[in-house]
A and B are shown apart, each in its own frame.
Chain A
Amino acid sequence: MSMTSQKPIPPRPNALGLKGWVYAGRYSFERYLYLLHRLTGVGLIVYLLLHIIETGQRLAGEGAWTALMALFATPLFKFMEYVLFAAFVFHALNGVRLKLTELGFFLGRPAQPVYPYPSSVKRHRPLTYVLMILAALTIVLGGSSLFF
């Protein structure tokens, strides 16, 4: 079998695909904040679209509205609302971090790297910790809504 007369076999695709969004290796935890930001964002926008339709139910009159509100007072819905609140708090505070750092703040200045290399991701970790602790506190305190 002559090598020169054969067409070369094209290289095989090797992209990680959607699995690569979830886990791709032993990277720092900011990569998982990215994943959680994405998941909460999708949850929030899907909820928003449903919410706009739901609040439009007022057009069907007081009876329909009151029945809907009674449904939302059931324990399952109260719990889901709390999950929504938690998603918003995380997404908002992580989003504050993202918007500040994506405009170049808190990342430090470029400088000739000396091993062990400084990393802008690690450089803004104090900000990340402050915001995540704030988020955790708010979410825990927000659990009070389950008892209203």
Chain B
Amino acid sequence: MRETRLWLLSLACTTLLLFLLGAHFALMHYSPVFYGQTVEETRTFAALLERGRQTAFLVIYLLFLAAALYHGLYGLRGILLELPLARSYGRWVSGALVVVGLAFFAYGTYVTWWTFTQ
């Protein structure tokens, strides 16, 4: 039931992402509407650190990063598997995407952690 579980996990991520990415857009692109701050104020280095020092942000960003990477790379895997390749390439494609996903997750976690400890 492995493929079914991978698909269900992607589905669970969509629910998370709907809210997390929506909130992320509200904060980063529509802050005048939702937070009364201009976009420039939201994106200054100081504001970045101020948000990033909060534990809630640490947890939320890591969850967000994991969900977004998993859902996005799962979708990309679906597209790449549908290309006319030999059947055996399926494993290589999945493996390569897992490596890419873990690498980006590791880097993103490091950046988030660095911000938290500033």
Size range of the interface on A? 20 to 34
Q: Which residues of B contact A55 (CB under 8 A)?
A: 108, 111
Stretch at the interface among A2-10, A65-73, A104-112, A128-136: A65-73
The verdict on B115 contacting chain A, using a C-beta distance below 8 Å, is yes
Query: How many Å from the CB of B82 to the closest CB on chain A?
Result: 9
Knowing A38-B79, A95-B14, A144-B33 touch, does A65 contact B25 (C-beta < 8 A)? Answer: no
Complex: how many Å from CA A99 to CA B38? 35
Per-residue interface assignment for chain A, residues 81 to 119, with 1 indicating a CB less than 8 Å from any chain B CB and 0 otherwise? 100010010001001100100110000000000000000
Residue ranges of A at the interface with B (Cβ–Cβ < 8 Å): 15, 17, 38, 41-42, 44-45, 48-49, 52-53, 55-56, 58-59, 62, 65-66, 69, 72-73, 81, 85, 88, 92, 95-96, 99, 102-103, 142, 144-145, 148
- Between A and B, 27 residue pairs with Cβ closer than 8 Å are A17-B84, A42-B76, A42-B79, A45-B73, A49-B100, A52-B65, A56-B111, A58-B45, A58-B48, A58-B114, A58-B115, A59-B114, A65-B45, A65-B48, A66-B44, A69-B40, A72-B43, A73-B39, A73-B40, A81-B29, A88-B25, A92-B22, A95-B14, A95-B18, A142-B30, A148-B38, A148-B39
